Amino acid sequence: MINAPVELAASSRRQHLITVIVLGILAFILQIAVAPHISIAGVVPNFIMVAVCVVALTNTPTRSSVYGFVLGFAFDLFSQGPLGIMALILTVMGYTLSTLNRGSFESNWLIELFVAAVAIFLAEVLHAVALAIIGYDANIVHSLLFRALPGALFETILVLIVLSVAKLVPRKPEAKKRTALAGLDSKQAQKAKKAAKNKSPFAKKWTSERKIR
């Protein structure tokens, strides 16, 4: 028989996976159908980069890097740039951002936003430099000043909106129940640990000697 917390954890993982997949599909659709029509001064937002950034803040480095590669490869397929550049950039970005987040600033969403902004800016700069190196963009200075920098600002604002909405979404009853069960399991574990300690050989020896006295 499967324990209730295990069932809830498996259900939570499935829901999280579905959310991540839906986010990726939505970002891909927005990139193709919406992004070209909402450009500001010729700067087109990269919804796929935004999705990878958000996922990297809530997932493991391995999952984030795989997610970045898949969405980056999809971006390359439907863009006019060379195949593989955005996939590589988003793979590195997803892994690095997720690693930093899990180890340093996971509890502070303002620091999360700042580091995400830096990651987005570096990704945009790397993309512009890579395009210039292989000959797709002759004016690297123009690309950095009028595409990479405004694009990073545009995408940081989108990440801020997504994170703000995520913070406002109330927790589901399943999540609250899972937390309560986790607390219950913790108390049960402490009791079991205490009981095991009392049944240890040293405890038994001490008890037997006390009885003899």
Domain 4-168 has CATH 1.10.1760: yes
Q: What is the pLDDT of residue 40?
A: 85
Where along the chain do its domains lie?
Answer: 4-168
pLDDT digits (tens), the chain, 213 positions: 445 555 556 777 888 889 899 999 999 999 999 999 998 888 899 999 999 999 999 889 999 999 999 999 999 998 877 899 999 999 999 999 999 887 655 567 788 889 999 999 999 999 999 988 888 877 888 889 988 999 999 999 999 999 888 777 655 554 444 444 444 444 554 555 555 555 545 444 444 554 555
Helix (H, G, I), strand (E, B) or coil at 120: helix
Decide if 93 contacts 53 (C-beta within 8 A): yes
Residues in a beta bridge with 40: 43
Q: Quote the crossing angle between the two packed helices 109-133 and 149-168, to the nearest 10°.
A: 150
Rounded Cα distance, 138 and 116, in Å: 28
Residue 133 phi, psi dihedral angles, 5° rounding:
-65, -40
Helix, strand, coil shares, percent, the chain, to 5: 80, 0, 15
Decide if 57 contacts 97 (C-beta within 8 A): yes
Number of H helices, E strands in the chain: 9, 0
